[in-house]
Amino acid sequence: MSRPGRLPVESTSEQRIVLHVDMDCFYAACERLREPPLRGEPVVVGMGYEPGETVGAVATASYEAREHGVESAQSIERALELLPRREADPDAEPTAYYRPVDMSYYEDVSEEVQSVLAEHADVLRAVSIDEAYLDVTDRTDWESVEQFAGELKTEIADTVGVEASVGVAPTMSAAKIASDHDKPDGLTVVEPGSVQSFLAPLDVEDIHEVGPKTVTELAEMGIETAGELADADPAALVDRFGERGRAIYRYARGEDDRDVTPVGKPKSLSRESSLPAEAGGSRTVREQVRTLADAVADRANRRDALYQTIGIKVVTPPFDINTRERSLSGPVDRPELVRSVALDLLAEFADREVRKVGVFVSGLSFSAGDQASLAEWDGDSDGTEIETHTNETDTTPQSSSGSRRLSGQTTLADFR
C-alpha cells in the first residue's frame, strides 16, 4: 500500500529528483510572523492599500479569508464587502485583518527561507519571492525523498516560522503541480513512471504553458483534461498552436527535460517604509532613513555584495516619487557610507512632508576583490568627488508599498 501523499512507483529507472517549494499564502504568513495574534484569523494583504482606505487590490488572502470568497486580484472594496475590517467593527462577524504589502519585509523573510533551501540542494533556482526549485538528485533517493522533503518543511517552519507546501517529481513542471496538490502545508511525491497518471485527471489549465486563451482553444478541440491533451494528435496541436502545441503535449505526457538552473544575481537591494501621518518632522524621517540604510547595508553584507551607487526614494504628497542617488568611483561594502550618503541626500527634503522613504544600493558586484579603498570616497589628490544624480518622476499612485521599489531610478549605465 502506498504511503499518504505518495504516488506508487511504476518504473525503477533512475531520474532526477526535483523539489518545488511553494510558501503558503506567503505575504499573510509574514504578517502573522510579525503579529502572532493574527494566526488563525482571516488576513488580507492589499496592493496599493493603506490602512483605513478602500482602494487597492488583494495581493494575498489567507485560507481563512478565502473561505468567505476573498481572492487574489480582487478589489479591496469587494473584499471589504465580504469581510469588514476587524479594527473598524470588532464585534461584527465575520471580519478580517487588513494589512498593506510590505515587500522589503517579505524579502527579508524570503532570504531566510532561501538560506534553508540552499543547505538542502545541489542546485537552487528561486523563481519568485515565495517559490523555488531544488535539484536534490545527489542528496537523497526515491526511497528516502519523502522523509527528506518532510524534514525540509519542518526546518523552514522551525527556523523561519512560515509554512511551505512541497512537490517532488522527476521534472520541474510535475513538481510544481505536485506542490499545489495538497495545500496548505502539503507534501506530494510523484515517482518516476507515475507522472502521466498523476497529471491525467487534472484540468488542462494546470499544465505548464497553458493559459486562459489556450484553455478556451483546447476546449474547442474537445480537450479539457491533461489526459486528453496527452492523447491528442500532436500534429493537430502544432497546426493550432505552433511549436508551443508540441511543448504542451509533451508536458501533459510528463516529458520535461529542463534542468534546474540558478537565477542570476540581483541588480539592486532596497528597503523602504511608510510613515504614519502623525509621525511628521524631519527628525523622524532622518531616524527612519538611518534605520533603513543600516538594514540595506546589512542585506548587502549578508549577500557578499559590493555596491557602486547609493540612493534614496522619497514619496511626497500626493504621490510624487523622487529618487536621489550618488555614484561612487568603485564598488564598496561600507555601512557607514550608506548611512551618511542617504542622510546627505535626504537634506533636500528637510522642509517637505514625507509619506514614505526608502534606501537602495545598486551597481552590485559580488567579488570581494573589487572593493576600492576608503580614500577614494573622501576625494583623491586630483580632486575626484562622488557624483550625485537627481530624478523627479512619476506622480501616479503606487501599486503597493514595495512593488515600485526603485520607480524612476536611472540605471548606473546612464552615469558613465
Does position 50 have pLDDT exceeding 90, yes or no?
no
Q: Which of 101, 63, 273 is CA-nearest to residue 184? A: 63
Question: Where does a domain end: 202, 219, 252?
Answer: 252
- Within-domain flag for 241: yes
Q: Mark whether 229 and 365 lie in a shared domain.
A: no
Does position 20 have pLDDT exceeding 80, yes or no?
yes
Does position 331 have pLDDT exceeding 80, yes or no?
yes
pLDDT value for 314: 92
Q: Mark whether 286 and 405 lie in a shared domain.
A: yes
Residue 39 CA to chain centroid, in angstroms? 21
Q: Mark whether 51 and 160 lie in a shared domain.
A: no
If pLDDT is split at 50, 70 and 90, which confidence band does 263 have? confident
**Total domains present in the chain:** 3
Q: Which residue has better confidence, 33 or 394?
A: 33
**Separation of alpha carbons 311 and 293, rounded Å:** 9
280: alpha, beta or left, given left = phi > 0 and alpha = psi -120 to 50? left
Please tell me the least confidently modeled range out of 94-98, 144-148, 389-393.
389-393
pLDDT digits (tens, 9 = 90+) for 339-370: 999 999 999 998 888 888 889 999 998 865 45
- Within-domain flag for 228: yes
Q: Which residue has better confidence, 416 or 72?
A: 72
Does position 110 have pLDDT exceeding 90, yes or no?
yes
**Separation of alpha carbons 112 and 276, rounded Å:** 28
If pLDDT is split at 50, 70 and 90, which confidence band does 157 have? very high
pTM exceeds 0.75 for this model: no
pLDDT digits (tens, 9 = 90+) for 248-260: 999 999 999 999 9
Does position 82 have pLDDT exceeding 90, yes or no?
yes
Counting other chains too, the contacts that 206-211 makes at CB distance below 8 Å and 24 or more residues apart are 206/177, 206/180, 207/173, 207/177, 207/248, 207/251, 207/252, 208/173, 208/176, 208/248, 208/251, 208/256, 209/244, 209/247, 209/248, 209/251, 210/248
**Separation of alpha carbons 91 and 147, rounded Å:** 44
Characterize the bridge pairing of strands 187-189 and 164-169: parallel
Please tell me the least confidently modeled range out of 52-56, 60-64, 155-159.
52-56
What would the mean pLDDT of 215-236 be, rounded to a whole number?
A: 96
Does position 307 have pLDDT exceeding 90, yes or no?
yes
Does position 143 have pLDDT exceeding 90, yes or no?
yes
Does position 335 have pLDDT exceeding 70, yes or no?
yes
What would the mean pLDDT of 48-75 be, rounded to a whole number?
A: 90
Q: Mark whether 230 and 363 lie in a shared domain.
A: no
pLDDT value for 344: 95
* Beta-carbon contacts of residue 283 (< 8 Å; ≥ 6 apart): none
Q: Which residues are catalytic?
A: 131
Does position 386 have pLDDT exceeding 70, yes or no?
no
Q: Mark whether 386 and 403 lie in a shared domain.
A: yes
- Within-domain flag for 263: no
8 A C-beta contact, residue 6 and residue 191: yes
Question: Where does a domain end: 218, 252, 286?
Answer: 252
Please tell me the least confidently modeled range out of 52-56, 129-133, 286-290, 322-326.
52-56
Q: Domain range for residue 287? A: 268-415
pLDDT value for 301: 87
Q: Mark whether 248 and 275 lie in a shared domain.
A: no
Q: Mark whether 360 and 408 lie in a shared domain.
A: yes
Does position 406 have pLDDT exceeding 50, yes or no?
no
Block residue for cell numbers 528597503: 271
Beta sheet of 387-393, edge-to-edge order: 268-274, 356-362, 307-316, 320-332, 387-393
> What is the length of the chain?
416
pLDDT digits (tens, 9 = 90+) for 177-223: 999 999 999 999 999 999 999 999 999 999 998 988 999 999 999 99
pLDDT value for 61: 96
Beta sheet of 97-100, edge-to-edge order: 57-61, 43-47, 97-100
Highest mean pLDDT among 44-53, 111-120, 145-154: 145-154
Question: Where does a domain end: 197, 225, 252?
Answer: 252
pLDDT value for 254: 93
**Separation of alpha carbons 312 and 357, rounded Å:** 7
